[in-house]
Amino acid sequence: MTALLASLASAAFYGAADFLGGLASRRANTIAIVVVSQLTGLLVLGLMLPFLPASSPAPNDWIWGAAAGVAGGIGVALLYRALAMGSMALVAPITAVCAVTVPVAAAIALGERPGTGAVAGIALALLAIVLVSQSEPERDGGAADRARARSVATALASGVAIGLFFLTLAQTGADAGMWPLVAARGASSGLFVILALVTRRSMQMPADVAAIAVAGGILDMLANLLYLVATRHGPLSIVVTLSSLYPASTVLLARTVLGERLNALQISGIACALVAVLLIVGTR
C-alpha cells in the first residue's frame, strides 16, 4: 500500500509541477526556468537530508543517480518547451505514454510479471493516457498545425527521456536512501547552469514568473522523493504506471486555471485512469 499511495501522490505532484513549469516557460526562456526549478529542488533536498534516516549509497547508486539526473533534466526541459508551445491537455499525456512505456517494457523484459488485475490496470492506464491526449483539431490550419506538430514531436522526445529517468533512478538500491536524488539533481542542475552560460541565455524574469518556477521546482522534488520511495516498496511496472498518471492533474489544472476545455474523450480518459488505479490497488 505504501508503494501505491506514494506513486499516486507523486503523479499528483508531477502533474502540478509540469503545469507550473509550462506556465512559467510561456513567459520566460525555458533554460532559465529549468535552472531555477532544478536549483530549487536541490536546495529543498539539501534541507531535508538531515531529517532523513541514515543511508549508505554504493558507487553504482551515485552513477545511476547522475544518469537519471541527465535524462530527467533533458526530459523536463523538453517537456516545459512543449507545454509552452502547445496545449497542455495534449502535450502532457503524449509525454506520459512514452514515459511509462520505456520502464514498463524494460521491467517485463527483465522478468517482472504483474498479476492479471495489475496487467489490466496497466493497459487501462495506457488507454487513459491516450484518451486524455485527444484534443480538438485546430481550425486555423497552417501555422497552428505546424506548431502543434512541433509540440507533439518535442513531447515524444521528452517522454523517452523521462522514461529513462524513471528506469535509471529505480536501479538504485534501498540502502542508498535519498542520495541518488542528490546525484540526479546535482547532475541536472550543473548541466543546465553550464548550458545557460555557454548559450548566454538571460536568467532575468519577472518576480511572479520566478515564484512559479520555484514552486514548480519544490513540487517536482517532492514528486521525485515519493517516486523513489514507491520504487523501494513495489514492482517497477506498477509504480511507473501509477506515477505516469500525472497528466490528469496537469489537464485539470489547465482546465481550471487556463480554461482549456476537456472534451468527452478526455473526460473518459480521466475516468479510465481512476478505474485503472482501482484495478491495480485491488491486486495488492
Query: Which residue ranges make up each domain of the chain?
Result: 2-282
Q: State which H helix or E strand residue 235 sits in.
A: none
Which pLDDT value is given to residue 186? 93
Between these two residues, 233 and 237, which has the higher pLDDT value?
233
Q: Are 75 and 158 in contact (CB under 8 A)?
A: yes
Which pLDDT value is given to residue 219? 95
Between these two residues, 223 and 201, which has the higher pLDDT value?
223
Which pLDDT value is given to residue 138? 53
pLDDT digits (tens, 9 = 90+) for 55-108: 888 999 999 999 999 999 999 999 888 888 877 877 877 787 778 778 877 877
Which pLDDT value is given to residue 213? 94
Q: Are 118 and 283 in contact (CB under 8 A)?
A: yes
pLDDT digits (tens, 9 = 90+) for 137-184: 555 556 666 777 788 789 889 989 998 998 899 899 888 888 999 999
Other beta carbons within 10 angstroms of residue 249's beta carbon come to 20
Q: Are 96 and 131 in contact (CB under 8 A)?
A: no
Q: Are 145 and 84 in contact (CB under 8 A)?
A: no
Which pLDDT value is given to residue 215? 96
Which of 137, 87, 147, 103 has its CA nearest to residue 238?
103
Dihedral, CA of residue 196, residue 49, residue 169 and residue 93, to nearest 10: -70
Cell of 234: 513495489
Which residue bears the cell 497528466? 247
Other beta carbons within 10 angstroms of residue 35's beta carbon come to 25
pLDDT at 15 over 80: yes
Pick the most confident of 151-160, 168-177, 213-222, 273-282.
213-222
Q: How far apart are CA 145 and CA 49, in angstroms?
A: 46
